[in-house]
Amino acid sequence: MAKVDRRILKMQVGLKKAVIELMSEKNFDAITLQDLSDRANVSRGTIYLHYLDKFDLLDNLIEEHINVLRETCRAASELDFTESTLIWTEYFERHYSFFSMMLASKGAPYFRGRFLDFLIEEFTNEVDVTKGMNKGLNEDLVVRFVASAFVGVVEWWFTNEKPVPHHVLAEQLGTLLERNV
């Protein structure tokens, strides 16, 4: 794997931080490359060296977080739902500005869809409609129900500015997942 120049990493981190800050101030559609350039203190040409446009930058940022969550799922595959959900809620807590902007502000509806698709993919392997409370139910319906409920609860948590601590969110979501998956 090729080593990435630290200056490039610093610039990319600065741009990603700038896009989140700007989204807290105005709608994503109103953000210009000049706004990003000014906020991150880089030239527009530098942005174009690494991203096609602001949508590519946002997509890259979203994909980065989805990939971390995907790896977290793989690493937590041996844990129960509460333990693995705790790892997720700790990640949500650490990256509060990103997730609150993507879920609570409705600043990027695209993220919600990507997050839901990711959860559907992950829960597909967890749902068992051959036994228990879900016996005989349509698997796709159960997966979509669980994934949608998870997204909805996480959205609620961010929209209401963390009304319960992340560990309580994890415990209760884990319990609900155990009951429904």
Per-position DSSP letters for 33-70, written without gaps between them:
HHHHHHHHT--HHHHHHH-SSHHHHHHHHHHHHHHHHH
Does one domain contain both 65 and 47?
no
Q: What is the pLDDT along the chain (181 residues), one digit of tens a residue?
A: 567 788 888 999 999 999 999 988 888 889 999 999 999 999 999 999 999 999 999 999 999 999 999 998 888 878 888 999 999 999 999 999 899 889 876 556 788 899 999 999 999 988 888 888 889 999 999 999 999 999 999 999 999 999 999 999 999 999 998 888 8
Range of the domain at 158: 61-180
116, 91: one domain: yes
Same domain? 83 vs 142? yes
Residue 102 inside a domain? The answer is yes
Q: How far apart are CA 60 and CA 86, in angstroms?
A: 25
Q: How many CB atoms lie within 10 A of CB 73?
A: 19
**Judgement on whether residues 109 and 81 belong to the same structural domain of the protein:** yes
| Domains identified in the chain, total number | 2
pLDDT of residue 1: 58
How buried is 29 (Cβ within 10 angstroms: 0-12 exposed, 13-18 middle, 19+ buried)? Answer: exposed
Domain CATH code at residue 20 = 1.10.10.60
Whether residue 84 is found in the same domain as residue 145: yes
Residue 138 lies in a domain: yes
Whether residues 106 and 132 fall in one domain: yes
What pLDDT does residue 126 have?
87
- Say whether 22 sits in a helix, a strand or coil: helix
Residues 84 and 129 in one domain: yes
- Whether 56 is covered by a domain: the verdict is no
CA distance linking residue 181 with residue 125, whole number of Å: 10
Query: What local confidence, expressed as pLDDT, does residue 27 receive?
Result: 85
Q: 3-state class of 156 per DSSP?
A: helix
40 and 118 share one domain: no
Q: What angle do CA 27, 58, 118 make, to 5 degrees?
A: 110
